Amino acid sequence: MMLGAVDANASTGAARATDEPLLAARGLTKRFGGVAALDDLNLDVRNGEILGLIGPNGSGKTTFFNVVTAIYSADAGTIAFDGTDITRAASPAVYHAGISRTFQRSRLSLPLSIFDNVMIGNHKRLNQGLWFNLVRRRAFTAEFKANFAEAQALVASFDPPLATRMFEPIAGLPMIDRRRIEICRALISRPKLLLLDEPSAGMTHDETQQLMENILGVRDRMAGLTIVIVEHEMAVIERITDRCVVLNFGRKIAEGAFASVAANRQVQEAYLGLQ
């Protein structure tokens, strides 16, 4: 199954990784009718790495994210995260365990402000008690101000001008800012694992470059953050990932550093249809 050579010391990120995988999928299968979107998939995500998940359209990359975050339930197989089994956990539990994600078609709440959207991602760190929220306004005010400062600093680390517009609705913002806010929403709760689903979709080449700088910056600031990124832009994958996994028809066909994966004959066949 595993054809690409596993490159042990591909980059600095991998050097930080420990042996125990942060996320381990075993025999993971998801069928839609007769189509197996994930077919007996075994996949490890190592601590601290940036893993690129690539493959042709329909190869099961987004389905993998959706199964991990329990938007879909797996038909077979297991997912372990940080030592615990999360195969049957519901989406909120997966989030509480420390996995955050972005969506291929950005799922921000357009009428809400930038701050509101970022705070939606901070659910587990906010006091959700009805009494606290309705009656203890002084305590709420303190919590609000602390969280505002944190959210503003996070947005500013992506784009300083954006952080001056925290109470403007998302609806008027360009795509790159929406992507930034979506990533901020996923990061504000300080997850252990960040799943990025095609962050460059719908952006120009320059915007993609800027966003990738942002993502690399985040990884440097947030020690121990592990990222899985689904991406079609091979330049992006080459630039930011430590390791790649290639999917085709829901199966893993190759794994390793980008260069070795790109040289793999089966990968070339899957992408280009070479015989």
* Interface residues toward another protein, by CB under 8 A: 69, 71, 90-92, 94-96, 100-101, 103, 107-113, 116, 119-121, 123-124, 126-128, 130, 133-134, 137, 140-141, 144, 148, 152, 165-169, 185, 189
Tell how many helices (H) and how many strands (E) occur in the chain: 11, 10
Least spacing, CB of residue 113 vs another protein, in Å: 5
**Alpha-carbon span 4 to 74, nearest angstrom:** 26
Least spacing, CB of residue 253 vs another protein, in Å: 28
Closer to another protein by CB, 34 or 172: give it: 172
Report the interhelical angle of 137-158 vs 175-187 (nearest 10°). 130
Least spacing, CB of residue 167 vs another protein, in Å: 6
Least spacing, CB of residue 11 vs another protein, in Å: 29
In degrees, to the nearest 5, what angle opens at C-alpha 74 toward C-alphas 183 and 95? 30
Helices (H), the chain: 12-16, 61-68, 91-97, 114-120, 130-134, 137-158, 175-187, 205-221, 234-240, 258-263, 265-272
Closer to another protein by CB, 21 or 121: give it: 121
* 8 A C-beta contact, residue 140 and residue 128: no
Using DSSP's 3-state secondary structure scheme, residue 248 falls into: strand
**Which residue do the tokens 């990932």 mark?**
241
Closer to another protein by CB, 88 or 107: give it: 107
Least spacing, CB of residue 175 vs another protein, in Å: 17
Closer to another protein by CB, 99 or 267: give it: 99
Closer to another protein by CB, 5 or 156: give it: 156
Closer to another protein by CB, 11 or 152: give it: 152
Phi/psi at 204 (nearest 5 deg)? -75, 170
Least spacing, CB of residue 1 vs another protein, in Å: 30
**Alpha-carbon span 126 to 144, nearest angstrom:** 9
